């Protein structure tokens, strides 16, 4: 059976609460999603930044290990003399010689 038509006005002015409820529910869902977009983007950016920071930390640890080994080498008794000789210095009383390469074509 069909319900009897209402008296007093055309049917087009009636509010369909089931459709209005669905529209309101969809709007609320979009509002909730919009509120979560910025924090999610922030989390993704923080995750990427964390990876870059981890890489920088690994590089700094490697540099620190190298510097510590160089510092340990400098604490050896003859480290100053070895470094001076690498720079071309000679002890007092020693004679330095310069060896030049032979000219080609002679």
pTM, 2 dp = 0.46
Q: Which two tokens stand for residue 23?
A: 């529209």
Assess whether pLDDT exceeds 90 at residue 69: yes
> Mean pLDDT throughout 76-80?
87
Q: Are 45 and 51 in contact (CB under 8 A)?
A: no
Q: Binning pLDDT at 50, 70 and 90, where does residue 13 land?
A: low
| Nearest partner of 88 among 79, 97, 100, judged by Cα | 97
Q: Give every CB contact of residue 81 below 8 A, 6+ residues apart in sequence.
A: 91
The 10s digit of each residue's pLDDT in 24-60 is 999 999 999 999 999 999 999 999 999 999 999 999 9
| Nearest partner of 37 among 49, 47, 45, 26, judged by Cα | 45
Assess whether pLDDT exceeds 60 at residue 67: yes
């Amino acid at each position: 059976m069909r319900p009897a038509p209402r008296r007093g006005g055309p049917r087009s002015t009636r509010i369909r609460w089931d459709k209005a409820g669905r529209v309101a529910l969809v709007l609320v869902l979009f509002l909730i999603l919009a509120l979560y977009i910025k924090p999610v983007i922030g989390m993704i950016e923080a995750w990427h930044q964390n990876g870059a920071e981890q890489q920088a930390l690994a590089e700094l640890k490697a540099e620190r290990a190298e510097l510590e080994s160089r510092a340990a080498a400098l604490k050896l008794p003859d480290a100053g003399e070895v470094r001076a000789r690498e720079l071309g210095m000679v002890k007092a009383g020693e004679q330095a010689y310069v060896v030049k390469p032979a000219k080609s074509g002679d």
